[in-house]
Structure 1
Amino acid sequence: MARSRVKAKGRSEGGGFLRLHHRLIQHPNFYTLSPRAVKLLIDIAGQYRGLNNGDLSAAYTLMRQRGWTSKDQLSKALAELLERGFLILTRQGGRTRPSLYAVTWEPVNDCGGKLDVSSTNAPPGNWKKDPINPE
C-alpha cells in the first residue's frame, strides 16, 4: 500500500539530489560561467554523496560517459571552474591516479586520507570572491 501511495503522489523512490544554493547561482561568478563550465560543474558536483567532497573526479574517461567528447573543452571548463572558485584541487593526479576536486560550497571531507589537503568543518566558499569579468 505504501508503494502505491508513493507512485500516486509522484514522490521519488530514492536517489540523490544536487544542492545549489540561490546565493551561489545568483552570484556573478556563476551566472557568467560558460555553458561548458556549468555542465562540468553539474557533472562533477553530481558525484557528491555527502561524505566524499574532495574525492570528485573530472577524468576524461569518466566524463566521456557523461557526454564529453573533447579533452580540450573539458580542460577549458575545468580551468574556468578552478579560476572562479567553484572547485578546488584536493589531490594532484599523475600517471596512475586522477586529480581529485572538491566543490567549494560544501565542507571538504577526509576521504580516507587520500587527499593532499586537510578536511574542513566549513565550506571553503572560494566562489564568493570578487566577481571575475568574463573574457
Structure 2
Amino acid sequence: MRKRDTGRDAGGFAAVPWSVLDSLAYAELSHPGKSLLMEFARQVMGDNNGRLLGSSAYLRERGWNSKDVITRAKRELIDVGFIFETVKGRRPNRAAWYAVTWRALDKIAGYDPGVEAAFERGAYKKWSSKN
C-alpha cells in the first residue's frame, strides 16, 4: 500500500532537481526565463516529456500576457539547454512541443525527424558564461 504524504497540500507538484537549480545556467537566467522554466516543469507528468506546451494561447491561461516576453524567455531556455523543441509550431493551429532536458525524452509519436538523435539530456550542464 502506498503511503500518503500528509505533510503538503494536495495536488501534483513540479519536481526540479537541485542540479538544475544550482547550475550556472539557472543562476544566469532572467526572471521571465526562470518563471517560464517552472511553467514547463509544471506540465511534466512522467510520460509526456517532449509534448510540453509554451504557446501564448496556453500560457495566457496561466497569466502570461506578453508574446514578446514569452518568445524571449523561450529562446533563452533553449539557448542555455533547459528545454528542447521536439516539434516546430506551424500556422494556423499547430503548437510547438518541448521537452525539459533534466529528464529523458519520452517516446511520443509525432516528433519532427531527427529529434531523438539531437536531444541531449542534461544539456544545461554545458552552459558557461562564455557561450
Bin of the TM-score, shorter chain as denominator length: 0.7 to 0.9
Q: Determine the C-alpha separation between the residues in 2 that align with 1:44 and 1:19.
A: 11
Partner Cα distance (2:40, 2:99) in 1: 9
Please provide the CA RMSD for this pair: 2.4
Query: What are structure 1's unaligned runs of at least 5 residues?
Result: 1-5
Which range moves more in the overlay, 122-131 or 102-111? 122-131
Taking the aligned partners of 1:87 and 1:44, their CA distance within structure 2 comes to: 8
- Give the CA deviation at 1:118: 2.4
Which of 77, 80, 84 in structure 1 is aligned with 2:80? 84
Q: Could you list the per-position Cα deviations for residues 78-126 of structure 1 after superposition, in whole angstroms to 9, with x for gaps in the alignment?
A: 0000000000010111012101100000000112x11122289x96111
| Paired letter, 1:118 | E
Shift of 1:77: 0.3
Pairwise mapping of residues 6-21 of structure 1 onto structure 2 (< 5 A)?
10-13=7-10, 15-21=11-17
Asked if the contact 1:110–1:119 (Cα under 8 Å) also holds between the matched residues in 2, the reply is no
Distance 1:92 1:31, change over 3 A: same
Spell out, residue by residue over 1:39-60, the C-alpha distance to the aligned partner (whole angstroms, 9 max, x if none).
1010112111000000001010
Count of paired positions: 125
TM-score scaled by length of structure 1: 0.82
Q: 5+ residue gaps in structure 2?
A: none
Aligned position for 2:28: 32
CA distance in 2, matches of 1:45, 1:97: 21
Quote the offset at 1:127 in angstroms. Answer: 0.5
Q: Does 1:98 align with 2:95?
A: yes
